[in-house]
Each structure stands twice: as structure tokens, then as C-alpha cells.
Amino acid sequence: MTGAWRAGDPRGRRRFVTGVQPLETGGTLPFTLAYETWGTLNPSASNAILVEHALTGDSHAVGPAEEGHVSPGWWDGLIGPGKAIDTDAFFVVVPNVLGGCQGSTGPPSPHPDGKPWGSRFPGVTVRDQVGAETVLADALGIGRWAAVAGGSMGGMRALEWAVSEPDRVEALLVLASTAQASADQIAWAAPQLHAIRADPGWHGGDYHDVPGGGPDAGLGIARRIAHATYRSEAELSQRFGRRHQDGEDPLRGGRFAVESYLDHHAGKLSRRFDAGSYVVLTESMNTHDVGRGRGGAANALGRITARTVAAGVDSDRLYPLYQSRALADGIDGAEFAVIASPYGHDSFLIETEQIGRLVKLLLDQPTRVMSR
């Protein structure tokens, strides 16, 4: 069982591009990328903005849940006519990441032999994912992005774009992200990966065509662990405290309200995501390091020529504020910004008014040399 989009399902707003990506680990991967667009590309192709989603996001950044899209747009408050990323002025492109499960090639997708890739799907890095996205940019006729923006895992890809393709990125917005995954972030990922692989329904990663198969329980545990790190201690304490879930008594096997909250998010994810993709993408985040093979992170950040805003969240315990400050310090002329919020790491999805101001800072003053 999987929550992945699969061939034959309603397409929704998805469009597709195909290519072959050389992998950092060797060999090549034939791929399809699903993507969605809003707005109109101008004749000079100079008004395109690339928006990169986070770990369990997808290409559906705007719009309601509808046929082909089980969840509403995750950045609805930021993208659209008259909004911070104004689709009356800009052409917005949102791809589903390579290794994902909502139309792009990943573990649930058909291998060339017709069966799901499953355990045969190769490890892909953030650099590989950006390489696949350059194929999309070329197919759309976009030689240079007016801006590339993303948060968390999406921020990793946005940053990699600016490092690996500096001539193709005019402006850069990196939210709640980092130049390289830290030991703490890798440590939080480890029990999530173990939970999925320890589920009897994992079948070594080859569960997609097994009747009744699928590591839903393991994926749910992974989501519970992750979601707790996405929110702040202060928010959880204020919102739930030690309250019991309605009608339940923890002294008699019932749940606290915060446990019910985590259970809810675990169930939602299993209905819209694939465990194999969760593993592949988590491992791509673990191996994220813009300095690999480039003389270290400082040298890599020195390649960036884009006007840059690097913003962190003051209550983020997963991607702490100092990591965003380090990005700004390492990129010539970059602006460092703080998103003040009680919501922790997830604030880059929630605080649309504050993020909108950062977007306007980046887009409305294209000739400004930004300074700290």
C-alpha cells in the first residue's frame, strides 16, 4: 500500500518532463519530473520563479484539494494574483522532487522493466535532484530564474541551485535550512528510518505490489518523531499542556491530547505519501553538503552571485537560527532575517505575512546590493 500518485491516477494540474540524470554515486537514472505552473512566462523568459517544496510536500503549492491532489496548496498564502509571489507578474514553477512520490520518479514509480523501482531505486543527492530540475528549466526555455525559493529540504535545493548554477539564479530565498546537514539533524532522522525499515510491511522496500503490504505503521512512527521536531516546545505546551484527549484517560490506556495530535498527522501522511520516498528523501537530506567536492562549504557559498535572503525561525529546534545566520555570513552581500514565531520549524509554511515581506524585499528591489 502507498499514498503515492501512480500512473493511471487523475493527473490534476501536473505536467511532466523526462530526462536522464547522472548520479553522484555513479551511473544514470532515467526520470520523469512532475511539475505545476502558475502565471505566464514572458517572451524573454525573465520572470520565472522556481519554488522548492520540503520533505513531504509536492508540486501542488497553490489551490484546493481536488481530483489528483489530496492536499491543498502548501504555500497558498504566498503565491497567486496580487500576493507576495504575484502570478500576474511572475511565472511560478513548482516541481515534485526527484525521488518523490507525487508524479516524479521515485521508489513507487515503474522501473524500465514495468515493476516498481522499490529497493532498486538508487540513492539520490540534493545535487542530483537539482541536476534533474535543470532539465525542466531547459525544457521550459528558462535560462535564468528571477528567483529560487524554498524552505527546509526545499531550501537545500534552492541553495544548491545557486551554488551549482550561479549564472542561472538572479535571487535566492533560503528559509530554515542549512549548507550541510548537522549531526543533530541526522540523529533525528535515524530513528525515523529505522522505524520504517523495521515494519514487517517494509518487505525490504519491495512492498508496492504486495497485497496488504506497506509499512504504514513505521511511516506513522517516523512522522510522529519528525512532527514533534517541526513544532516548538513552547507551542506544544501552550496548545496541549497535559490535557487528556476527550473521553480518554491516560491512567487507563488513553491518550494525552498531544499524542492524539501526532496520531492525526501520522495517519494523514500515510494516506498521501510513500514510505520508500520518505526513506530516499530523508537520506538525500542527510547527505546534503554544498561543500562536498568543492573545497568545503565556505568555498561553495563563495560561488553564489544571487541576491540572497537567508532567514531562520527563532523557535526552530531542528534547523536552529545560527545555521541561517551562517549562510548569510558566508554569501557575499546576503541579508539575514529572523522569522519570529512560536511554531518552530514549520513556521516557513505558516508565517506567510512575514515571509511575504522577505519575498518583496528580494523581488521589489532588483538593483539593490543587499547588506547585513
Distance of alpha carbon 93 from alpha carbon 52, whole angstroms = 9
* DSSP one-letter string for 205-238: G--TTSTT---HHHHHHHHHHHHHHHS-HHHHHH
Percent composition of the chain: helix, strand, coil (DSSP 3-state, to 5): 40, 20, 45
CB 105 within 8 A of CB 128: no
Question: What b/e readout covers 254-290, taking b as 16+ CB neighbours within 10 angstroms?
Answer: ebbbbbbbbeebbebbbebbbbbbbbbbbbbbbbbbb
| Helix and strand element counts for the chain (H, E) | 11, 10
User: Known catalytic residues?
Assistant: 152, 316, 345
Measured in whole angstroms, the distance separating CA 12 from the mean position of its chain's CA atoms is: 20
H or E element that contains 176: none
- Cell numbers 531550501: residue: 155
Angle between helices 126-140 and 153-164 (to 10 degrees): 70
Give the whole-angstrom CA distance, residue 157 versus residue 130.
Answer: 6
Helix (H) or strand (E) holding 151: strand 147-151
Grid look-up 529540504 returns 153
For residues 159 and 176, give the distance between their C-alpha atoms in angstroms, rounded to a whole number: 12
